[in-house]
Structure 1
Amino acid sequence: MQRQAGVLYVVATPIGNLGDLSERARRVLAEVDAIAAEDTRETRRLLAHCGISSELIAYHDHNESELTPRLLEALESGQRLALVSDAGTPLISDPGYILVAAARERGLDVVPIPGASAAICALSASGLPSDRFLFLGFPPRTQSRRRARIESVAREPGTLIFYESAKRALETLRDLQAVLGDGRRLVIARELTKRFETFLLGPASVLIARLESDEEQRLGEMVILVEGCPASEADETREDAVRVLRILGESMPLSQAAALAARLTGAKKNALYRLGLELGLGAESD
């Protein structure tokens, strides 16, 4: 008789205070055959706090492609595995996507065990709008790529959420100021749920000055939240984009006109192309 396939539990763990681990997560971690952990040292500390002795398997960015087939075999043989990240919810800027996607493709059961997420935790207490938001993970490390990433979401109306290490926070804040100006509200959420949890609010210039003058604010990891693009600014940008698209559409194919207008105005190329079709611009040349 064929053995029933196992289950992959995607378990959220505390982002700071170990007491935040849910009872359900505690029970699952104690009962599974093994735990695939991003950082076995951090997870071992959590398990010791809870009196759990489940087997740990190191599963991180550098070995997930190599290790995933082995974990899939274990699941198909009937084992129950838990996937945890260093802290928070797995896959949210942490390893695990390859394993979860492969398990789904094979028809294996994947069960989420909800809990902490630094992005949602920060948003909930930031005072910035939470009805629409865009999570962007860690910004690129080089200034040119980081500024390009910020420029690509400059017209997003929802709150922007970045993760950042404290040692690169000043660079990112300066790039946010350079690209977006100093008129938006920003929030830095640092050391969430820990003893020295801190929320700093203000425009980029104020937060830059605070971090420059206070070394303690440059420790740990942060969530940086940025107020979305004001509606008036977005409307003005759209008007400029339409004007540029009309001019370009008179002398070149629509696909080229939309691509160039997007580069000039920061609007989305696909949206401009669809708009050009509606306006009858360059359609015969494409």
Structure 2
Amino acid sequence: MGAVPPESAVGRLVLAATPLGHARDASARLIDAIATADVIAAEDTRRLRTLAAALGVGITGKVVSHYDAVEAARLPALLDDVRAGRTVLLVTDAGMPAVSDPGFRIVAAAAAEGLPVTCLPGPSAVTTALVLSGLPCERFCFDGFAPRRAGERRRWLETLVGESRAVVFFESPHRLAETLAAAVEVLGADRGAAVCRELTKKHEEVLRGPLAELAAWAEEGPVRGEITVVLAAAAPSTAPSVASLVGAVHERVADGERLKSAVSAVAEAAGVPKRDLYAAALVTKE
């Protein structure tokens, strides 16, 4: 735990949530922070200036870019600013910094030094999608972006077969149809879900229903905009059959994994006996 420097010697790091699409969702505290921060680190400096103009607020501090490719390089100078007594405001294009966006590294580094860090809460695509999904969401987990590669995506979906919480994830509109089709295969056609598109924006759209219906809609395409998907929790009484999991085992083996390891991973995720799945995999292999 880092020692906290004297209060007079340091400034602070402020993470602030920005509107998902509608500028009027900005909090009064965010408006004040944009106007008064000594330094603003923005994922896209042009979008920051567009937001400031929409809010009618002038930027008086220094503006620096802070996106994935430069996040590590910007870290030393931003920490120096905080140490020197300046207020550094960190914003991303939309929603909360560090949630599938830049921000984690500087928070961890500032916290390790005991530098003051605070947050201005606000819009989040995760919680917005959850409440609009119409699905039970007393307990949920967030999985960031779905894996891009087919094999990795299938293995990720396999871990959700018996998931007892609602699951929220982001997906590119160009890969949505493929991901939903894979979800139908792994999670079942009747698993409840919601696809939330362009949240809070002019063309906001929320589609709710079983995965099979949503996959068919996405296949018709084209799908545009920013996508957040919510999956319903698995029904407690539904357990996949051993036979339905054999294909997943063989896919993992085809990717280079040992049969026993593949069986163990799939069986554990699905909650079925490893011995039964191993026997079924051997039979179909022969």
TM-score where L is the length of structure 2: 0.81
CA distance in 2, matches of 1:147, 1:190: 23
Equivalent runs, 1:9-158 vs 2, <5 Å: 9-50=14-55, 51-54=57-60, 55-158=62-165
- Is the partner of 1:162 in helix, strand or coil? strand
Kindly, what percent of the aligned residue pairs are identical? 38
- The separation in 2 between residues aligned to 1:268 and 1:259, in whole angstroms, is 14
Deviations 1:36-75 (A, max 9, x none): 1111121111011122224321001101111111111111
One-letter code of the match for 1:222?
Answer: I
Deviation at residue 93 of structure 1 after TM alignment: 0.5
Q: Give the aligned partner of residue 197 of structure 1.
A: 204
Flag structure 1 segments of 5+ consecutive residues without an equivalent.
238-257, 273-286
Structure 2 letter corresponding to 1:195: K
- The 3 A distance-change label for structure 1 pair 212 and 81 is same
Aligned partners of 2:181 and 2:51: how far apart in 1? 36
CA distance in 2, matches of 1:171, 1:268: 22
Letter in 1 for 2:207: L
What is the CA-CA distance between 1:178 and the residue it aligns to? 1.5
Whether the aligned pair in 1 keeps the contact of 2:154 and 2:182 (CA below 8 Å) is yes
Structure 1 distance, partners of 2:220, 2:175, is 15
Rounded Cα–Cα distance in structure 1 between residues aligned with 2:218 and 2:234: 24
1:263 maps to: 265
How many residues align structurally?
Answer: 246
Equivalents in 2 of 1:53, 1:70: separation in Å? Answer: 20
Secondary structure at the counterpart of residue 117 of structure 2: strand
Residue 214 of structure 1 and its aligned partner are, at CA, apart by 4.6
Distance (Å, rounded) in 1 between the aligned partners of 2:158 and 2:268: 7
From 209, 222, 225, give the equivalent of 1:220: 225
Q: Counterpart amino acid of 1:113?
A: L
Give the C-alpha shift of residue 99 in structure 1.
0.3
Contact 1:187 1:199 in 2 (8 A): yes
SS class of match (2:199): coil
Q: Does residue 172 of structure 1 match 2:208? A: no
State the secondary structure of the residue aligned to 1:74.
helix
Q: 1:263: Cα distance to partner? A: 2.2
TM-score by length of 1: 0.81
| Closer/same/farther in 2, CA of residues 73 and 180 from structure 1, 3 Å limit | same
Q: Distance in 1 between matches of 2:266 and 2:176?
A: 29
Alignment partners' CA distance in 2, 1:94 and 1:158: 23
The answer for unaligned runs of 5 or more in structure 2 is 1-5, 242-259, 274-286
Distance 1:113 1:8, change over 3 A: same
Residue 207 of structure 1 is matched in structure 2 by 214
C-alpha RMSD of the superposition: 2.1
What CA distance in whole angstroms lies between the structure 2 residues aligned with 1:56 and 1:205? 46
Preserved contact between residue 158 and residue 270 of structure 2 (Cα < 8 Å) = no
Contact 2:18 2:91 in 1 (8 A): yes
